[in-house]
Structure 1
Amino acid sequence: PGDVLVCYSDGVTELENEYGDMFGEQRLVDVVVRFRKRPLADIAEAILQAARDWSAGQDFSDDLTLVLLRRKPDAAVATRESWLLA
């Protein structure tokens, strides 16, 4: 419960800065972890802002696609799963 799933295109992680260094998966993970308790729209905006900062405002040469999902606790599902496991 509360887990966040982030699906992204390679345009996010392969975004290069002025020195040719890629944004990378670890930087993406760091942003998600830092904002994980915030609404999904805030997490997406934080990722996009980090990408803009990384590229120093240059136009993106590839698409940046993000899909974020959060699993919410559901008592009915938890009860049904407990019953199935019994």
Structure 2
Amino acid sequence: MHPPSRLLRLSAPVELLSLAALLANVAVLHQQAVASAIGPLHGCAYLIAIIATARAAGPDRTATVLAAILGIGGMLALRRLAAPAHAPPR
């Protein structure tokens, strides 16, 4: 398993923060302009996180499945890929 790529390290937090901004907009502001600006950013970050995880994970498909979880998936995949390869099982 390779260490996480720079692309994944950038896209995972963007995915999480953009989802938080979208949810805050729905809960408080209800501004269409905010949703129009942040929605595509979130979608792109989500797809980039999945693709970057799939490329870095190699034969380990668990990280790729984790990346597909909306919002926090990129961060979970990032954590799994950054973990030492020979970590003792818990």
Same fold by TM-score greater than 0.5: no
Length-normalised TM-score, structure 1: 0.34
Length-normalised TM-score, structure 2: 0.33
- The structure whose RCO (Cα within 8 Å, separation 6+) is larger is 1
Q: Which structure is higher in helix share?
A: 2
> Bigger radius of gyration, 1 or 2?
1
